[in-house]
Chains A and B, each alone.
Chain A
């Protein structure tokens, strides 16, 4: 008893220290690039964690989460671009719309199980993507919406921030990450979370115990979709540009899933771990750091044919890395990194006994 209490206190203290550290970062770090990386990391954790609620805990592996991400991003951006509605109001419209979309999708897709559910979720996201391309009057079609001018955020006449640096985005991102993690924690430790997990483990058994399958699946979907839409809105505002492939494409859905799969589905820290691996790795590839490192070590000469080829092409191929990672993780650690670490810890414990 005492030991577990101590552990909880220790965990809480550790969490607070990390949070304080994260809060203090912009005071010491001025490099916009470093802040940009942190914001990308926050975004990735948000996306992964939102998927985790539906996919990890309730076991419904949607490969169509781009739908919610895109609806959030598009609603906020469209309202800001054509109606000059500031994003902190547009976000709510996005979330409201996403609830409607999610319930519509849920009523179709949750009648299906396993592979059929996956296919249906993809189809719905594709319908939304194609609609965004074709409804040119509303969404500006394939050209996308460019809106980089954010109005200053004021409370009672005093300007809180004018969004000129990356610092306000950093704090918004941090706030949203903490929010998603807290929501996941609350879900995990409530009756709701147990219902989700019961459905994941055995749908029929859960049903025979009196758990309303479709109700709880829809609740999981709505929570997951609203959080994903928040992430989408944040992405849209931060980048200042949305177009159908970058927010509604199948790649987005796969990427969202991947964060969880690599880190570990159905665990609170899995998406965080997954993001900590995926974001720096793909950024290193994108910004050609790997080629530069190879050149520095002397493995490849910068002017040789291979060096030039790598420099030109490796940055485009960061998705290749995703592919290799997925294959390796599925084949060798199907429970993700968290599962792998737990297994190791368990083995050590056993050996110690």
Chain B
């Protein structure tokens, strides 16, 4: 029972970060109908940014989120304005290829600058844990990152539901043309959405940097996970991505404990295929044509 609870808790904690990655991807897809294959690489840029801030300025990775978030927002806005915006009406495969290309450029530029060595960001609490009782302990960095994730997600919900800009973004996601007719500046909303998506991915990168190896190719794994999460939750649904993230976190950690850590990703992908086959609209998604 202790093992079960332990893996459930660590699954939920890591799932929080996954949710952040998934929400970013789903926001971008919702507003622009573009599947961002560079999402994991944006996360990787966030990781290196955190690493740089930590080694050069000595700022704690969790505090540096305050710097990473706005910087990654600007980076995402730039990507949207310069590249993505030009292919909004292009064929789906061209959009996909463009983002794959952008991802390759990011990971290889980082490799040129930092070499492909694995970097580790060691903080005083990197391997610390808190004992909860009943033989269950919670990793401190994971717990902190989960709390920050929860705060960011709550703020994001508030932003999307209560502010004018948030409502305009949701309107654009629902029907781009109608939103435009209502006087919403959809181009600006697209830039904000891509900026937010990138900022969320970058933040996720910052949050996992104390517990993960940092290397230029780390993004690929997260791009694939982000897809699984968003498809599971329903493309374009923010609530779905939140649930999907936590569900994938739990699946992974349970799979690692009860089956084997080598096969845990296979389980995730099989789950993904099953969802695609039997409920392609996802858990929370409405079926769209």
State the main secondary structure of chain A at its contact with B. helix
CA distance A182 to B116 in the complex (A): 42
Does the CB pair B273–A108 fall under 8 Å? Answer: yes
A126 at the interface (CB under 8 A from B): yes
Please, which residue of chain A has its CB at the minimum distance from the CB of B91?
A: A334
Does the CB pair B96–A112 fall under 8 Å? Answer: no
CA distance A127 to B106 in the complex (A): 25
CA distance A185 to B20 in the complex (A): 48
The tally of residues in B whose CB lies under 8 Å from a CB in A reads 43
A150 at the interface (CB under 8 A from B): no
Does the CB pair A112–B266 fall under 8 Å? Answer: no
Segment 249-265 of B: residues with Cβ below 8 Å from A: 260, 262-263, 265
Does the CB pair A116–B276 fall under 8 Å? Answer: yes
A187 at the interface (CB under 8 A from B): no
Q: Mark B110-133, 1 if CB is under 8 A from A, else 0.
A: 011001100000000000000000
A residues near B207, Cβ cutoff 8 Å: none
Contacting residue for B116 out of A254, A316, A320, CB 8 A = A316
Q: B28 → chain A, closest Cβ, in Å?
A: 12
CA distance A131 to B265 in the complex (A): 10
Does the CB pair A134–B262 fall under 8 Å? Answer: yes
Known: A119-B231, A331-B98. A323 touches B262 (CB 8 A): no
B residues near A108, Cβ cutoff 8 Å: 273, 276-277
Does the CB pair B104–A123 fall under 8 Å? Answer: no
B102 at the interface (CB under 8 A from A): yes
CA distance A133 to B260 in the complex (A): 13
Does the CB pair A327–B83 fall under 8 Å? Answer: yes
B178 at the interface (CB under 8 A from A): no
A residues near B35, Cβ cutoff 8 Å: 115, 118-119
Known: A122-B224, A127-B270. A134 touches B111 (CB 8 A): no
B residues near A124, Cβ cutoff 8 Å: 269, 273
B residues near A119, Cβ cutoff 8 Å: 35, 227, 231, 272, 276
CA distance A287 to B280 in the complex (A): 46
Please, which residue of chain B has its CB at the minimum distance from the CB of A245?
A: B217
Please, which residue of chain A has its CB at the minimum distance from the CB of B106?
A: A323
Q: Mark A313-353, 1 if CB is under 8 A from B, else 0.
A: 11011011011111100110010000000000000000000
CA distance A280 to B22 in the complex (A): 39
Does the CB pair A330–B98 fall under 8 Å? Answer: yes
Known: A61-B93, A119-B276, A317-B111. A323 touches B269 (CB 8 A): no
B105 at the interface (CB under 8 A from A): yes
Does the CB pair A326–B224 fall under 8 Å? Answer: no
CA distance A257 to B98 in the complex (A): 12
Contacting residue for A115 out of B90, B96, B98, B112, CB 8 A = B96
Does the CB pair B105–A123 fall under 8 Å? Answer: no
CA distance A119 to B224 in the complex (A): 9
Please, which residue of chain B has its CB at the minimum distance from the CB of A312?
A: B115
Would you mind naming 17 contact pairs between A and B with Cβ atoms under 8 Å apart? A108-B276, A111-B277, A115-B35, A116-B276, A122-B224, A123-B228, A127-B273, A130-B265, A261-B97, A313-B115, A316-B112, A316-B116, A317-B108, A317-B112, A320-B108, A326-B100, A331-B86
Known contacts A119-B227, A257-B97; can you find 6 more A-B pairs with CB under 8 A? A119-B35, A120-B276, A123-B273, A320-B111, A323-B101, A330-B97
